[in-house]
Every structure is written in structure tokens, then in C-alpha cells.
Chain A
Amino acid sequence: MSPGKTMEPFWWSLFSAGGVVAAFLVPVHLFLHGLAVPLGWVSVSHARLLALVGQPLVKMYLFVLIALPLYHWAHRFRFILEDLGLHGLRMPLAVLCYGSAIVGTVATLWVLIRI
């Protein structure tokens, strides 16, 4: 078995893991931060939030929550574009999509470390 033959299993595994995280965690967070808080249904003090995001465990949670599903998006978006007819651009699309996810991962690390 030659592992270098194709990297597809690697990206697919990240896609899968990201999909699980997105399925379980994104709805409640989107509901909270996108609707419940802005609409005033619930309120959280800034002090509490700041204390939370300062904790190492919470930072790890946020890293997994934000960075992993980026690879889920990257893999799916790449195939959306291929399925819309851009099959010939396989390499550039892969670089664009996975590259964006990697940039996002670095940005997430940067934000979380600096808090």
C-alpha cells in the first residue's frame, strides 16, 4: 500500500471529523450567538465570556469547534465546484479550498493564543 499515492483519504477524514463537530455543535452556537443573544432572549455578561475564553480547555474546545469544520467546508465546497463542471481544475480547486482551511486554522490559533 503506497500512502503517497493519494491524499484523498486524509482530506476525507478531516471532512468527516469536521462534519461530526458541525452536526453536533454548530446549531446550538449559531442559535445562541446569532439569534438568542442579539434578540435579547438570553444575556451573558462580557466578563463571564472573557473569563471563559481565557481558560485553556475552552480554548481547545473553540479550536476544535472552529478549525475542524473548516476542513468539512473545504472538502465539500471543492466537490461542489467539481460537480458544477470544474472537474478539470482539480488541483487549483484543492489548493484553494484546503489552503483556505489551513489559513483559517492558523487565524484561529492566532486569535485564541492572543486572548
Chain B
Amino acid sequence: MTEETITLEVTRYRPGHDREPRTESFSVPYRKDWVVLDALNHIKDRVDGSLTYRWSCRMGVCGSCGMMVNGVPKLTCSAFLRDYHPGPIRVEPLANFPVIRDLVVALDDFMEKLRRVKPWLIRETERPVSEGEYRQTPAQLDAYKQFSMCINCMLCYAACPVYGLEPAFLGPAAIALAYRYNLDSRDEGYRVREPIVSDSVGVWECTFVGECSVVCPKGVDPAAAIQRSKVAGAKDWAMSVLMPWGGRK
């Protein structure tokens, strides 16, 4: 009895050889418990060892395996073949990023933006270790917890048309992370992050398309973080105009 198969149409791109990406079709076994990542691993193991792509944990926590599946940014470890049956399934590199090879994209821009928003606790005064931990109530944790779930998978950047049109845009994940730290009761770095977040290619570039939050595999809701940052930014601007001598914090 022949096993049922499903077709994957996978983007191939060899730097130096190909001027443009092209599509190659592969027939893989259709297994009900397989995800697209399993199919890609099958291709690499059994059919074409040169197929190049990123993956790691295969359980949706590392953020490495983000790709476009039928035009939608997804973690391929969470995209079940049965949801795309009978196929064919189009697998392309993550949108809005330069392609290095096949399904691998260049992460440099995102990494730089991540660093730029200083996603760590910033203190005006560090307390000595002898004074103990910075304590936090459950309510204080709830204030930012949702936005701390980001796994840096960049699906939101692939879904964001503003980032696609304007690569200088700071982007959903970076702004959501800045927001997460601004909301953390232990953090005192709002003023430090403000010029970066409130830059013209920061929050103000966003037109609230909202697709970033739709594709986020962790429910971070970066769109909400950005719009709330706009409200905060507008208040800051108004205060700076009405009271230029005063300073918050």
C-alpha cells in the first residue's frame, strides 16, 4: 500500500548562482502528526541535503523556524500538515527580510533594533546585593507579563506591511519589548528608551494594521503595546510643550 503524500513548494535560492529565488516541488509522506518542519527535515535527510533552513527546539519556544507557509508567517514546528491537506503547501523564507540562502533570512536588522531599545532592566541607582532582591507583587507582574512572552521569532516583522515598505521602522517586537520593560516596576529606564521609541521611525510609523498580533505565536499582542506607547508618547509630548522646564522622574 503506497503511503499518501503531500507536495511542498519550497523556495530555493543559491547566492552567487541564482539571480532570484525559484520554487522547487517536493513530495513528502503525509503523516497526520507531522508538521511542516518534519517535512523539511524529511526532504533534507532523504531527498536534497542542500536544502537550508533554521530550526532548533521544534516545540514553539525558541523562535528559530519562522517561515511563510501559504503566505502566512508561521513557526514551521507548529504548522501541521493536516491543516493544509491536500496541499500543495508553499514554504517561503520569512517576508520583509533579505534572503541569505533558501529559507534562511538575514537577522541583522532585527538584532540591531532589539539592542537599540535596551531590553533589560535599567536602574538609576543599583541597589547592593546585600539589600536583597527587587520584589514584585503578582499585580505588578501582571502589568507586563503578556509582553514578556516574546521569543524573538520575527513573525510579526514578516506580517507588518509598514516594515516591508520602510525597513527603518523599529518594528513590533522591539517596541513591545521596550514597552515590557517600561511597565516593569523594577525598571527606571523609561527616559532612556523614550527617544528611541518616540522617534519618527519608532511608534509613529505604525498604522495599526494589527497583523503582527494576529500572527504572534505567543499572544504578545505587540499592536496593543505600540498603540499604548503612542498614548504615552503623546502625553509626554504635550507635557514637554506645556511644561518645558519640568521633567518627569
Contact = CB atoms under 8 A, between A and B. Distances in A.
Given A3-B237, A13-B234, A87 B165 contact: yes
Contact of A8 (B166, B200, B244): B200
Contacts of B80: none
Contact of B195 (A1, A12, A16, A85): A1
Contacts of A10: 237
A6 B204 contact: yes
B241 interface: yes
A85 B204 contact: no
Given A6-B199, A8-B204, A83-B207, A1 B240 contact: yes
B188 interface: no
For the complex, would chain A's binding face be called helix, strand, loop or mixed by DSSP majority?
helix
A9 B199 CA distance: 10
B236 interface: yes
B241 A3 contact: yes
A4 to B, nearest CB: 9
Nearest to A14: B234
Given A5-B195, A8-B200, A9-B233, A85 B165 contact: yes
Interface residues of B, number: 22
Nearest to B230: A12
Contacts of B238: 9, 13
Contacts of B213: none
Contact of B234 (A9, A79, A83): A9
Given A1-B240, A3-B244, A5-B195, A16 B161 contact: no
A9 B236 contact: yes
B198 interface: yes
A77 to B, nearest CB: 11
Interface string A7-29: 01110110010000000000000
Please indicate which of the listed interface residues A3, A8, A13 has the most CB atoms of chain B within 10 Å of its own CB. A8
Interface of B: 161-162, 165-166, 191, 194-195, 198-200, 204, 207, 230, 233-234, 236-238, 240-241, 244, 247
13 contacts: A1-B191, A1-B195, A1-B240, A1-B247, A5-B195, A5-B198, A8-B200, A13-B237, A16-B234, A82-B166, A83-B165, A83-B207, A85-B165
Interface of A: 1-3, 5-6, 8-10, 12-13, 16, 79, 82-83, 85, 87
Given A1-B236, A3-B241, A83-B207, 7 more contacts: A1-B247, A6-B204, A8-B204, A9-B237, A12-B230, A79-B207, A85-B165
